[in-house]
Structure 1
Amino acid sequence: MTIISRKKKEKIDRLAELAARDDERGVSLWQEAFRRLRRNPAAIVGAVVLGLFVIVSVVGPFLVPYAPEAQLWKGEIRVGFIPGVRAENWFGLDHIGRDQFSRMVVGARQTLLVGVVATMIGLAVGSLIGGIAGAAAGLGGRWGRAVDNVLMRFIDMLLAMPSLLLAISIAAILGASLTTVMIAVGTVSVPVFARLLRGAMIAQSNSDYVLAATSLGVRKPKIALAHVVPNSLAPVIVQATLTLATAIIEAAALSFLGLGNNDASIPEWGMMLADAQRYIDIAPRLAILPALGIIITALGFTLLGEAMREALDPKLRK
């Protein structure tokens, strides 16, 4: 064996050894996105905020020192004076002698419940409309395009109205209740999910795997359900995270306007913010605390959602 051949063999052996050490396998889109999220400071901050919010919402109501509806210190409330922070009341009292800390913790659960349920309503209905329209437009031929036009004109009608005005109109028609707020806020988010999923499905319908499946004789409904829809869900899931922030703010706005839960014994941050307006000159903390809760929670969802969009969208990856 010549010297050159021996050197080539040694080089090949070294490359083979390095390849053997590198046991990394190919990763899916979601695994790669998770890796990017772990390196994103905004995603970490958002995840920490949301983690604390969920823990407080789920566990907090079982650990509060007082019942949120109990007016244990009503006798201490006087005209122009509401007791503030002290040892037995960490956030002070509200205007009728209830513990503000207990009400903030229990109100977090109501706020999370409204935001999640409203987002799920919008996601379910919007994905159904957008999925049908996307499948019809991308794979349905002439009749499919007609179905797509009808559904999209309905979505355009919803988009024509300002979101908060539409939510107020629905809540006013159905009557003030927590369920009404969920339905109203969920309806507002339907057009966003519908158009997003429809656009993603139309883009996926021009992919090579759709052409291959069609050439093999696979039926178009099966292609849409088994292949196109799963590959189009990533932007919809990211949008759901961003919509949660909007849902919390809009739900608080409806409660602030008196269209939310009409049971004053059940605390909710938007309703607490509305009640505090009459006492903002003598106890501004009654408005500041629920407002900070809404802002920080919405910011956490927004940070995590934007980070997920950067991690999943190749055009936005850093």
Structure 2
Amino acid sequence: MTLVGRKKERIERLGELAGAPEERGRSLWQEALRRVRRSPAALIGAGILLLFVLIALIGPFFVPYSPTDPIGINSGEVASGRGIIPGPSAEHWLGYDHQGRDEFSRMVVGARQTLWVGVVATIFGLAIGSLIGGVAGASFALGGKWGKRLDGFLMRVVDIFLALPSLLLAVTVAAILGPSLLTVMIAVGTISVPIFARLLRGSMLAQANSDYVLASTALGVKRNKIATSHLMPNSLAPVFVQGTLTLATAIIEAAALSFLGLGNPDSAAPEWGVMLADAQPYLDIRIGLALYPAFGIIVTALGFTLLGEAMREALDPKLRK
């Protein structure tokens, strides 16, 4: 092929490329969602959570029996060792509990309370932690001398909370406020506050050295405007991912507080942690009373963990596959 022919062929190729449809770029969240959809772990976790949410929201309206009224055995005979606790049957899928109440109905209704406690506690911790971390990060990145002092003060307070074991801190808060469902939410939310604060502050400091912050500063944009309109929105992705992982921890911590007697004082109200505690004296009679709520707690926490880990890998460039 002559030189003229090669040039002509190149020109034709460039024309074809110019006429080809342009591929639209994807945002960070669109790309992360695409990667999550391809992750088997994320699909399994999402399936578990969808089933759990459906049971928690819709299940209590269709339970066959009251979760608080005894309908079967004499609890006094069981407590004295003269009776047995009937197991699963066609009418009672999970059998009775130690007071003659339908175990399946209590598990379904208890799922709603477990979900409610976990979600509210996580939102509480995320809101307070993001407020502290956002103020500290913006103060350090854009606030000058006094901003760094404010950041240092806030982070030392956060370090004090981080130095305490999470369960011990939750027990302390619950003991001060007294046993109640609201107490469990506040106690579990409190232990996640320093995690969210540290995470958001670190993300904002990493974003503070970006080119768009330098360009906004050069254009004369006010520092508070940069912090609220640029730094904060671009730093929230890892915080939301941590919120998904914290939901799993919140469910476990809430069950632990209820197990220790710091949750709902009404023992008749179905809650997985309380059910697990009530089953301890009857393990030799019927171990299933402890296995059912334990299995529910483990599987639900696993679902949140699988989905959260998949989201973290999808949003982190170093972990993308």
> Normalising by structure 2, what TM-score?
0.95
User: Who is 1:34 aligned against?
Assistant: 33
User: Who is 1:69 aligned against?
Assistant: 68
Question: How many angstroms apart in 2 are the aligned matches of 1:234 and 1:15?
Answer: 36
Matched, 1:86 2:89: yes
Q: CA deviation at 1:263?
A: 1.1
> For residues 35-184 of structure 1, what are the structure 2 equivalents within 5 Å?
35-75=34-74, 78=78, 79-184=82-187
Please, which of 166, 186, 189 is the counterpart of residue 186 of structure 1? Answer: 189
Indicate conservation of the 8 Å contact 1:94/1:286, yes or no: yes
Matched, 1:212 2:215: yes
Range that drifts further, 2-11 or 97-106: 2-11
Indicate conservation of the 8 Å contact 1:80/1:282, yes or no: no
Indicate conservation of the 8 Å contact 2:87/2:96, yes or no: yes
1:246-270 CA distances to partner (integer Å, 9 max, x unpaired)? 0000000000000001112210000
> For residues 250-269 of structure 1, what are the structure 2 equivalents within 5 Å?
250-269=253-272
| Superposition CA RMSD, Å | 1.4
1:100-156 CA distances to partner (integer Å, 9 max, x unpaired)? 000000000000000000000100000000000000111111000110011011101
Q: The residue matched to 1:315 in structure 2 has which SS?
A: helix
1:166-220 CA distances to partner (integer Å, 9 max, x unpaired)? 0001101100000000000000000000000001111111111111111111111
Matched to 2:45, the amino acid is: G
Question: How many angstroms apart in 2 are the aligned matches of 1:311 and 1:5?
Answer: 44
Question: How many angstroms apart in 2 are the aligned matches of 1:9 and 1:161?
Answer: 69
Question: How many angstroms apart in 2 are the aligned matches of 1:236 and 1:7?
Answer: 52
Q: CA deviation at 1:15?
A: 2.9
Name the CA shift for 1:243/1:80 in 2 (closer, same or farther; >3 Å).
same
Q: The residue matched to 2:225 in structure 1 has which SS?
A: helix
Q: How many residues align?
A: 315
User: Who is 1:11 aligned against?
Assistant: 13
Question: How many angstroms apart in 2 are the aligned matches of 1:278 and 1:223?
Answer: 59
Q: CA deviation at 1:11?
A: 2.5
Matched, 1:275 2:278: yes
1:69-102 CA distances to partner (integer Å, 9 max, x unpaired)? 1111134864341000001100000000000000
Question: How many angstroms apart in 1 are the aligned matches of 2:267 and 2:246?
Answer: 27
User: Who is 1:24 aligned against?
Assistant: 23
Matched, 1:307 2:306: no
Indicate conservation of the 8 Å contact 1:38/1:44, yes or no: yes
Question: How many angstroms apart in 1 are the aligned matches of 2:294 and 2:84?
Answer: 21
Question: How many angstroms apart in 2 are the aligned matches of 1:154 and 1:256?
Answer: 30
Q: CA deviation at 1:6?
A: 4.0
Indicate conservation of the 8 Å contact 2:73/2:85, yes or no: no
Matched to 2:105, the amino acid is: S
Matched to 1:300, the amino acid is: G
Q: The residue matched to 1:74 in structure 2 has which SS?
A: coil
Matched to 1:7, the amino acid is: E
Q: The residue matched to 2:317 in structure 1 has which SS?
A: coil
> Normalising by structure 1, what TM-score?
0.96
- Matched-pair identity in %: 67
1:203-240 CA distances to partner (integer Å, 9 max, x unpaired)? 11111111111111111111100110000000000000
Q: CA deviation at 1:5?
A: 4.6
User: Who is 1:294 aligned against?
Assistant: 297
Question: How many angstroms apart in 2 are the aligned matches of 1:92 and 1:116?
Answer: 29
Q: The residue matched to 2:98 in structure 1 has which SS?
A: coil
User: Who is 1:222 aligned against?
Assistant: 225
Q: The residue matched to 2:25 in structure 1 has which SS?
A: coil
Matched to 1:248, the amino acid is: I
Q: Which runs of 5+ in 1 are unaligned?
A: none
Question: How many angstroms apart in 1 are the aligned matches of 2:152 and 2:213?
Answer: 22
Question: How many angstroms apart in 1 are the aligned matches of 2:244 and 2:186?
Answer: 18
